[in-house]
């Protein structure tokens, strides 16, 4: 993807996820082909994508994709996915923290902090299905591998020429991201407590237990 033009793998994935998916193989193909286009598949070479365009696409489309995965795809297909397919799915929330394509990986993690913690809130516009609860906790446990430093670079390192409004928006994103990281243990504990009150029997991963 040298430029956005008419080719945008994330936009295409968003649109595909809005239609019924026939089976696991079809889902696996969608996930795998999108990651390959972004240079994030395990078999990918370093992507030649234009980073500003790719990151712009991630910020525009990935929140919707993540919400669709959590509220529709995971409840329907997670039980049928093999380990390889589960890794493909997880890469849309927490790509391995490799040095190749690191700016893109950091931006995905930034969005995941926002999406995953929002899904734990009672104020979420789309309630998290019971079948996705343990998956969200697992993804949160994984995304904390991206540190405050990673999130800082995701917010600030792609600055170009921008006006005061854009700079102000970055400041707000940074403040929200820091708040999400700091409040993560309490949000997880509150959500799990609420779920257990509804009869849910899952557990908080060890890494997320408040000390």
Q: How many angstroms separate the CA atoms of 68 and 73, rounded? A: 7
Using the structure block, give the residue that is written with the tokens 């509150």.
190
Backbone angles phi, psi at 156, to 5 degrees: -105, -20
Query: Which residues have C-beta within 8 Å of that of residue 37, sequence separation ≥ 6?
Result: 1, 9
Q: Within 10 A of 119 (CB to CB), how many other CB atoms are there?
A: 23
Residue 59 CA to its chain's centroid (Å): 10
Return the minimum-mean-pLDDT range out of 12-16, 43-47, 158-162.
158-162
Helix (H) or strand (E) holding 8: none
Q: Across residues 119-143, what is the average pLDDT?
A: 90
Using the structure block, give the residue that is written with the tokens 């809130």.
121
Residues 155-200: tens digit of each pLDDT: 987 655 555 666 778 888 899 888 888 888 889 999 999 999 999 9
Q: Within 10 A of 33 (CB to CB), how many other CB atoms are there?
A: 15
Query: Which residues have C-beta within 8 Å of that of residue 84, sequence separation ≥ 6?
Result: 28
What does the block give as tokens for 161? 């020429």
DSSP 140-161: HHHHTTS-HHHHHHHHHTT--S
Q: Which of 69, 126, 123 is nearest to 93 (CA)?
A: 69
Average pLDDT of the chain, as a whole number = 87
Residues 48-81: tens digit of each pLDDT: 455 678 898 999 999 999 999 999 999 999 999 9
Burial class (CB in 10 A: 0-12, 13-18, 19+), 32: middle
User: Which range, 5-14, 72-81, 91-100, 158-167, is most confident?
Assistant: 72-81
């Amino acid at each position: 993807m040298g430029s956005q033009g008419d080719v945008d793998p994330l936009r295409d994935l968003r649109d595909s996820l809005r239609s019924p998916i026939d089976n696991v193989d079809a889902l696996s193909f969608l996930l795998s082909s999108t990651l390959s286009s972004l240079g994030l598949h395990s078999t990918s070479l370093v992507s030649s994508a234009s980073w500003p365009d790719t990151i712009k696409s991630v910020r525009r489309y990935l929140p919707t994709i993540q919400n669709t995965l959590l509220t529709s795809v995971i409840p329907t297909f997670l039980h049928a996915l093999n380990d390889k397919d589960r890794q493909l799915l997880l890469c849309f929330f927490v790509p391995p923290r490799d040095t190749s394509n690191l700016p893109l990986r950091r931006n995905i993690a930034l969005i995941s902090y926002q999406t995953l913690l929002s899904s734990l809130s009672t104020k979420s516009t789309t309630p998290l299905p019971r079948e996705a609860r343990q998956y969200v906790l697992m993804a949160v446990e994984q995304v904390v591998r991206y540190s405050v430093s990673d999130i800082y670079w995701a917010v600030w390192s792609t600055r170009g020429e921008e006006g005061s409004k854009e700079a102000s928006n970055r400041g707000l994103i940074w403040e929200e991201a820091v708040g999400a990281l700091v409040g993560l243990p309490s949000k997880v504990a509150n959500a799990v407590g609420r779920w257990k009150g509804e009869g849910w029997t899952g557990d908080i991963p060890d890494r997320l237990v408040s000390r």
